[in-house]
Amino acid sequence: MTIHVKNNIHWVGQRDWEVQDFHGTEYKMTKGTSYNSYLIREEKTVLIDTVDHKFSYQFLQNLEMEIDLHSIDFIVINHAEEDHSGALSALMEKIPNTPIYCTEAAIDSIVGHHHHPEWNFKTVKTGDSIDIGNGKQLIFVEAPMLHWPDSMMTYLTGDAVLFSNDAFGQHYCDERLFNDEVDQAELFEQCLRYYSNILTPFSALVTAKIKEVLSFNLPVDMIATSHGIVWRDNPIQIIEKYLQWADNYQEDRITIFYDTMSNNTRMMADAIAQGIHDVDPGVAVKVFNVSRQDKNEILANVFRSKGVLVGSSTMNNVMMPKIAGMLEEITGLRFKEKKAAAFGSYGWNGGAVDRIHTRLTDAGFETTESIKTKWRPDGKAMRECKAYGQKIAKQWALTALNVTPIEFNTVSSEEDKPASELPHDSDCQCMICTVCNWVYDPVQGEPNQGVEPGTAWDDVPDYFLCPECNLGKDVFVPHSKEDVA
């Protein structure tokens, strides 16, 4: 099947309705994708890109129904990744000496994938052109890191079509090929998902490349991408979107994501979200559980946000693994000019929150103070989380808010502090658990285990267990010897 694009240009690509994974399983395709290949028939016959290797057979079959493969004068490979050059091996078996125009970096990638250094490569650089007859030329524009070092775009004069490969594309599958034919909300959702999850780290290059292409003053009537739709209706709109997205994009939005062992950190997330909304109803607050929800959707929301709150229960004194994975991914995406903070519930130490805070700072976020809650948040702790959200809303507001948030104090008074954090005299008789810092105070005893107030440590029975971590008396030492103040 072919689709007429313009004049002597036809789409000869492949739709992939059922694909769900890209880059291993790191990018979930919720709307399928397409691998767009284009056939140009002027005095010269040119094939622009191929399709994913798993569709090699269908691709050749389809192409052979359209033309004699030997009539192809040359092939342009804009990008060597397998979803575009994958069918080359099968194609080159049929037409082995056909020239392949590509960047120098692409030769390395193509040979690395296909292991055919003998193929007839023709290296091109930005500004190089080739005459294809009927007064038309192909002009090449290198576009390193959009998406790989080998990437380039190809511009067809006369028809004014830019074959942009990955840039301006989206993982989106529809029988209709052109941007004005499809659901606009679906289309732009997938464009943003693609940009935020794949191109964000290269935003500076995106801006520079677009400015370079615009400086050529070439008319652009269509942008023919390698995934998804062809931009024929106002193709400049996606260029303008890219310039916005590449410019440290943010909306009045806060994304909260967390993982939770016992629902306690989730309760905190709910209360923080409510607190933000109370103070600033205009801000969009989106809350996600990383264990249950689409990672790429979460990252797209982080991309759109002015700030992000990351929560985790503490497990083995570190954060939960899926949160660690998300932070690694966020670090790689190199978001800029966003605020962030950490939160989480803990039992006997709150290591996760501290580690998240450090990781967010290292990833370039402007970090705000964190909040921890011990065990399941009670009414007081939920109020504190809500007040914390109110404070965040005010601190992160894009314009000054005319409200006074409730005063926030995670530890509001001396009597609220755990015994381990209270000052102790050097001669006090308290004993501290060396594992979790719970303090046995002889004045209070531990009535839950039948240890009456006023019971000296030596008289505490051997069956006694630390009420926090359930370990025995042997892990306790005199509090006065521990540097815990």
Q: Which residues bind ligand FEO (CB under 6 A)?
A: 79, 81, 83-84, 147-148, 166, 226-227
Is 84 or 193 the residue whose CB approaches ligand FEO more closely?
A: 84
CA nearest 404: which of 419, 414, 392, 394? 394
Residue 458's Cβ-side half-sphere holds a number of Cα atoms within 13 Å equal to 1
State in angstroms the smallest separation of the CB of 179 from ligand FEO. Answer: 18
Q: Is 166 annotated as a binding residue?
A: yes
Place of tokens 């091109």: 124
Catalytic residue among 10, 171, 227, 357: 227
Kindly list the distances between the CA atom of residue 209 and the CA atoms of 142, 188, 197, 242, 344, in Å, as whole numbers in the listed order: 9, 21, 19, 11, 42
Among 20, 40, 44, residue whose Cα is nearest residue 32? 20
* Residue 415 annotated to the active site: no
Q: Which of 18, 23, 115, 458 is catalytic?
A: 23
Task: Tell me if 259 is assigned to a ligand binding site.
Answer: no
Q: Does residue 440 carry a catalytic annotation?
A: no
CB 365 within 8 A of CB 338: yes
Q: Which residues contact 290 (CB under 8 A, 6 or more apart)?
A: 257, 258, 259, 298, 322, 323, 326
Residue 35 or 343: the one with the smaller Cβ distance to ligand FEO is: 35
Least distance from ligand FEO to the Cβ atom of residue 332, Å: 16
Residue with smaller CB distance to ligand FEO, 79 or 209 = 79
Residue 18 Cβ, how far from ligand FEO at the closest point, in Å?
17
Distance separating alpha carbons of residues 339 and 321, to the nearest angstrom: 22
Q: Look up residue 81 and give its two tokens.
A: 């990744």
Residue closer to ligand FEO (CB basis): 164 or 255 = 164
Q: Is 147 annotated as a binding residue?
A: yes
Is 171 assigned to a binding site? no
Instruction: Determine which one of 16, 81, 259, 384 is catalytic.
Output: 81
200 close to 303: Cβ distance less than 8 angstroms? yes
The reply, when asked if residue 227 is annotated as ligand binding, is yes
Our CB check for ligand FEO shows the closer of 81 and 142 to be: 81
Contact between 103 and 124 under an 8 Å Cβ cutoff? The reply is yes
Report helix, strand or coil for 10.
strand
**Which residue lies nearer to ligand FEO by CB, 83 or 384?**
83
- The angle at the Cα of 11, spanning 10 to 14, to the nearest 5 degrees, equals 155
Q: What are the backbone angles phi and psi of residue 89, rounded to the nearest 5°?
A: -55, -45
Is-contact 274 389, C-beta < 8 A?
yes
The three-state secondary structure class of 450 is: coil
Of residues 34 and 313, the one with the C-beta less far from ligand FEO: 34
State yes or no: is 147 an active-site residue: yes
Q: For residue 33, what are the β-bridge partners?
A: 16
**CB of 54 closer than 8 Å to CB of 169:** no
Residue 76 CB, shortest distance to ligand FEO, in Å, is 15
233 is catalytic: no
Active site residue 114: no
Shortest distance (Å) from residue 150 CB to ligand FEO: 9
The kind and range of the H/E element at 285 are strand 284-289
Output the smallest distance, CB 208 to ligand FEO, in A: 19
| Distance of closest approach, residue 148 Cβ to ligand FEO, in angstroms | 6
Q: How far apart are CA 77 and CA 40, in angstroms?
A: 14
Q: C-alpha 473: how far from its chain's center?
A: 47
Instruction: Please confirm, yes or no, whether 84 is among the known catalytic residues.
Output: no
CB of 319 to ligand FEO, least distance (A): 31
Annotated catalytic residue, options 83, 259, 354, 482: 83
Is 294 known to be catalytic?
Answer: no
Catalytic-residue membership of 186:
no
The residue from 10, 53, 84, 147 that is catalytic is 147
Please check if 83 is assigned to a binding site.
yes
Rounded Cα distance between 69 and 338, Å, is 52
The whole-angstrom separation of Cα 129 and Cα 144 is: 18
Nearer to ligand FEO, 75 or 130 (CB): 75
Name the catalytic one among 52, 73, 150, 166.
166
Cα separation, 64 vs 53, in Å, equals: 17
Which member of 79, 84, 171, 424 is catalytic?
Answer: 79
User: Where is 47: in which H helix or E strand?
Assistant: strand 45-48
Q: Choose, from 101, 155, 172, 194, the residue flagged as catalytic.
A: 194
Q: Where in the sequence numbering do the catalytic residues fall?
A: 23, 79, 81, 83, 147, 166, 194, 227
- Extract the annotated binding site for Fe cation: 79, 81, 83, 147, 166, 227, 433, 436, 466, 469
